Structure 1
């Protein structure tokens, strides 16, 4: 029989966004704990629902594996006298470690001969060891927020209702948070709350499923995916792939049941993004879309119960969504009473950062920096760019964006479009926020959008670096890595091949007019080095998620990342991201050709022959072969 460890902690409902990170933590912590205590295993599984955390380990031995440790003692010359008899130093060393002097060994080292003792570690029974380790294990789990309940002092993510702990069919006896462990689990609190005895993992899965609990999050996710696909098809619609929303609903329930609701057609007059945002962000619902990409008057919600009166549950969801849509419609209509131009002055009262000024000042910097780009790369777009820059932050003062912050840019575009601003203006108002994340596939399309997006992201980077708000380790409260990554993704575009990165950063920094601290040249160098690192991250992501038709497919499609080839370009000179990208791709492709290795061998030989610091102009008069002239040219 395979030896198994099963630990379940029954809880009050845990926020769904806590659980993915908790599962990773459980796996890592378990692996380290077992390795540190000489307990090999075959498999670790971490499972979770909204009301329970489950750890399953398969293949544990009955006892710790054998181990010994070698302890160094005094030098041989101090441990033995001239007759080879142990001295007091040797006797004391042996006594301290509970062995006979005859058990001492002599070993040669770099520092001479020393006395050693080899101690066999005790092999504790796994059951005895686990009853000591599991309370410590629970105490080491961390969460964004914890709480204390009752009279106990233990803190956990939510109050614990029961602890199931079984190894090889036996209860692992311990106490945590004033609760004793046992071999009893419980079903779904609404549909089948009774308890049942657990012998092993198989009986646990059978017992929970029989009582309307799907413990495995991957099974729940598959159930949700299948249900929303089938329901959307009944209306000849589809649901957009949304891993984040799917994960949120997966950890929100123990037994997922999908319901399709309806809302009134007149709400379809709201922008598509507004409808989807309300359903997704506010309610956690899936929007049903039609073949034309528009939203159909239907939504899908995931509930954690299967009851006789499901229609009553659905009516409640429809009522809540209707109220949210009414709020959105109110803000949408009220916002349009004030032109975006009239809101611009209000930006003077909104702080961008207490050391970097207001959003109005940021808008002015974006206008200047965006114009700098437009004048050099597309002079005919300067006027349009300046108009877009002036209006791009005005929607932050609208009721809709205050109520639904993720609609910034979206509402600016919609209001500007309805207020008859030119298409390039209202597109740039939205697109200058793109890409919103490192994985976002949406990018600014028009030159004006690209110029404004660059100005916005670089303004934030320059300002934060100028007042020493630098990202460190896992901390990046101002999203500078995301901003830098987005900046690199835009600047690889061929239209920026003649753009000096150093001049651009220096111009951006100069617009802060005394607000930044330190030497401007040093700050410019720091920003450029930061973007060089982001270039590495961009290329690494490109290598991981490459497509075979992409430039440099032989490199990218393999999912490999050659940092040496990238450094060969980036460490030489880094003043134009578009050019650097093309050089890297060219080098990657060239290094796969058969002549690359012989050429490198020839170069290295020549490099070893030429003295260090040797700088002499080439003399074409000495050439003999035509190929020498071709190489020189």
Structure 2
């Protein structure tokens, strides 16, 4: 069967940059699904997306569906004929619907009976007949939150559509979509070359557009921007400060990227670099430049959509655009410094944190108290942590943060330095928000860690305390992120602090504002629940996590230490046999009514295997308890691993459920002692076979 490559392009007005990539990806995946549903064979589907176009490119698309035979089962033979062998109405109606006579029907015989059967030959439809429906299916499902109408059209799309190019190889497929007839006309660059041109073949799409100053391939365009940014920065012996998100947004704004260098007055560098970087990146999509020590340069890069014969004019225009934004930041900074952070505390009373939980001033006071509590337990300076907690939200009332919200915290640090606050306090004001995302850095001091933990726990306890638990993907107070932040700080900074204690203290600080009686267990379980996902992302097997979770350790660093030890233990030769033995012990004990005593009477032993197990447990117990007290779980499990042979011998030679009640209870006590010792670290019986 003949195959050709297919190109479909929607030529549009400028598409929203924040939606461009997702539109391109969705267009390809939806069209692929439509082809698969129609059973049209193809090799691959790729996508193109630029500010004024969306396109899909399908390779080796078959010219038609395969012919197929469809089996259409009719009524049961018993219901298809009357007592005289004549077709019933049911049989006649079924045959008529299939365009055959009853006599032409075949029979389908199964172990459940016999039915009339018609095997219909269905010829495959050509791609030209199917394409309009498939394209409109894909377009209708695109993620467009606010579709619009334009001109006299009744159709809707995210932006007006002006051209529809549909080529199967070199042939135009005549269809209609979004009110437009298809053709081979494609829009060029808005300012360079021809406004439109005709495309001769689907395979020449990207090449033809490039000759008309359009890089249609999204990734190729982003790569071109990246290479130009790096080359320009390197030529200046500076580092281009951008991430993938900014790079992609820039690639969504231009079709023919050209990187130029501009500058601003050095006097603006007296303003904290974070504020300047924020306005350059977020407001203007410029790329700041940093020196080898991370200091901001007054030179920056920007990406334009045209290749000008007089780039100096474009550079001058962009310098004029950025100057007022930097002047605003300079004014806000200098004006804000006239008032101390401490003097802004009362103004926090005018801002609600949450209507049932009070104002930001109340939240700041709670953070201060909780930060001191945490600091005292992790060996930090409680006074400094409390001071940082009290001032933690004051920079929200500054002009700079009101204008540029993303610099909250960092401006608090600069203003605290200006006020003469302790450097640890100043740094903690910035680091209270760490970690902000997966892989982000952690607070650099224990005092900052105490404030960060206090802020996150205050939010968790407060929101849970009024019964507003996150549901599904709805998490307006970012409680999941807060829980993960608590875990990362405790584990990666190896802080010896207990969730139970911190949650209880945070709840007590709220006084009578909270109404949820179950908040304590709910918050602790919620945070520990995030631990499961966090550990799985690190490659820890679920059975290891379940084994540790069964003991519900509420000290995050202790939890992580147990997980690491059990993961290593699972690799030991003895692990599988010991896990099986623990499972057997757990099952035996679970069948007993009430709690089984661990008080063993050696005088009731009647064989060497009981004695050997008891002696081994007695010998191991003191070492296990001592190692566990120091959270040395590898030593605990290493000691327990030595018990394998004596445990195996016990089960091979001893009948636990003896007819003699005293002997039976004594053996159960021996197993309870064994079980208790193994549970010191984790429930080993949860481990799956290695």
TM-score scaled by structure 2? 0.83
Aligned to 1:444: 443
CA deviation after TM superposition for structure 1 residue 223, in Å: 1.1
Return closer, same or farther for 1:85/1:619 CA change in 2, 3 Å cut-off: farther
Query: What residue is the counterpart of 1:105 in the other structure?
Result: 107
| CA contact 2:466–2:514 (8 Å) conserved in 1 | yes
Q: Is 1:129 aligned to 2:117, yes or no? A: no
Q: Is the 8 A contact 1:18 1:144 kept in 2?
A: no
Q: Which has the larger radius of gyration?
A: 2
Residues 377 and 495, structure 1, Cα contact 8 Å, conserved in 2: no
Distance change in 2, residues 1:267/1:216 (3 Å): same
Comparing 298-307 and 38-47, the one that deviates more: 38-47
1:550 aligns with none
* Partner residue in 2 for 1:228: 229
Shift in Å at residue 582 of structure 1? 1.8
Give the corresponding residue for 2:555. Answer: 576
1:426 equivalent in structure 2: 426
Q: Which residue of 1 aligns with 2:612?
A: 624
Tell whether the 8 Å contact from 1:253 to 1:303 is kept in structure 2 after alignment.
Answer: yes
Q: Distance in 1 between matches of 2:85 and 2:507?
A: 77
Report the alpha carbon displacement of residue 106 of structure 1 after superposing the two structures with TM: 2.8
- Separation in 1 of the partners of 2:546 and 2:310? 64
What pairs with 1:174-323 in structure 2 (closer than 5 Å)? 174-323=175-324
Equivalence map 1:479-558=2 (5 Å): 479-493=478-492, 495-499=494-498, 501-517=499-515, 519-521=516-518, 523-541=519-537, 543=538, 556=539
CA distance in 1, matches of 2:85, 2:72: 21
1:389 maps to 2:377: no
Query: Does the CA contact (< 8 Å) of 2:169 and 2:203 recur in 1?
Result: no
Contact 2:169 2:202 in 1 (8 A): no
- Residue 469 of structure 1 is matched in structure 2 by 468
**1:384 to 1:201, Cα distance in 2 relative to 1, 3 A:** same
Change (3 A) 1:159 1:115: same
Report how far residue 73 of structure 1 moved: 4.4
Greater shift, 124-133 or 602-611, is seen at: 602-611
Counterpart-to-counterpart distance in 1, 2:427 and 2:214: 47
Where does residue 656 of structure 2 map in the other structure?
A: none
| Closer/same/farther in 2, CA of residues 611 and 527 from structure 1, 3 Å limit | closer
Cα distance in 1 for residues equivalent to 2:325 and 2:601 = 78
SS in 2 for 1:492: helix
Conserved? CA contact 1:131–1:172, under 8 Å: no
Question: Residues 269-320 of structure 1, C-alpha deviation per residue, up to 9 Å, x if partnerless?
Answer: 1212122112111211111111111112210000000010111001111111
Q: Per the alignment, do residues 613 and 84 of structure 1 end up closer, same or farther by CA in structure 2, a change over 3 Å counting?
A: farther
- Show structure 1 runs of 5+ residues with no match: 544-555
Is the CA contact (8 Å cut-off) linking 1:434 and 1:453 kept in structure 2?
yes
Kindly tell me: are residues 65 and 601 of structure 1, through their superposed partners in 2, closer, same or farther at Cα, counting changes over 3 Å? farther
Aligned to 1:401: 401
Q: SS state of the match for residue 352, structure 1?
A: strand
1:72 deviates by 5.0
SS at match of 1:406: helix
Identify the match of residue 589 of structure 1 among 533, 545, 568: 568
Following superposition, the deviation at residue 563 of structure 1 comes to 2.4
2:31–2:135 Cα contact (<8 Å) kept: no
- Give ranges in structure 2 of 5+ residues lacking alignment: 603-609, 621-639, 641-673, 678-690
Distance verdict in 2 for CA 1:619–1:300, change over 3 Å: same
Alpha-carbon distance change, 413 to 221 in structure 1, aligned in 2, over 3 angstroms: same
SS at the partner of 2:612? coil
Distance across 1 between alignment mates of 2:121 and 2:586: 57
1:375-399 superposed Cα distances (whole Å, 9 cap, x missing partner): 3333x62211111111110000101
Question: Residues 68-79 of structure 1 correspond to what in structure 2 (within 5 A)?
Answer: 68-71=69-72, 73-79=74-80
1:425 Cα deviation from its structure 2 partner: 0.6
CA distance in structure 1 between the aligned counterparts of 2:436 and 2:497, rounded to whole angstroms = 26
Q: d(CA) in 1 for partners of 2:592 and 2:564? A: 30
Identify the residue that residue 159 of structure 1 maps to in structure 2: 160
Q: For residue 358 of structure 2, what is the aligned residue in structure 1? A: 357
How far apart, CA to CA, are the structure 2 residues paired with 1:337 and 1:344? 15
Q: Secondary structure at the match of 2:381?
A: helix
In the alignment, the residues of structure 2 paired with residue 488 and residue 338 of structure 1 have an alpha-carbon distance, to the nearest angstrom, of 36
Shift of 1:108: 3.1
- TM-score normalized with structure 1 length: 0.90
- For residues 514 and 160 of structure 1, do their structure 2 counterparts lie closer, same or farther at Cα, with a shift above 3 Å needed? farther
State the SS of the aligned residue for 1:60. Answer: strand
Superimposed CA distance per residue, residues 526-577 of structure 1 (whole angstroms, 9 cap, x where no aligned partner): 3333323322332243x3xxxxxxxxxxxx4xxxx52232222224415222
